[in-house]
Structure 1
């Protein structure tokens, strides 16, 4: 999360954290070191939602890759990566 808000200015990051806290997604607490740092943690509810999402994603990938031999997975991954990297150019060239 810190990486995601690192490029925001202080006011924007405070507003973002205020909203996330209001939604029950994060908790904030002062650093035990007393150094003025505020620790931000995802709540257990968000952790459970993330786990559910990852389980669904894992199930979806398992279904889509059914029948692909383990030794073929690197080639499939590389092909998907190349398609994903080239997709924006393909889409913009057809508009």
Structure 2
């Protein structure tokens, strides 16, 4: 996987308004009604991560899920990160 340029990343992020680029990764934070809803979304995201063989750095505190995506082999953000971010967005939208 080839690392994307900062310009490419910022252009792609226009389609993902919940996501930001900093510290060599794309990041998003999602808030749910309660822990159960947050954990349910995390479980669904986990299946998508396995299917794509790409795994996020993430953290959950009660009803908030924080996600960071980067491709460690490429030392930065790649197309793989955007594919997973789009899948995460679709799952989050279904949860709402």
Fold shared, TM-score > 0.5 on shorter chain: no
Give the helix-richer structure, 1 or 2. 1
Structure-2-length-normalised TM-score: 0.27
- Larger Rg: 1 or 2? 1
Work out which structure has the larger RCO, using CA pairs closer than 8 Å and 6 or more positions apart in sequence. Answer: 2
If each structure's strand is expressed as a fraction of its own residues, which one has the higher value? 2
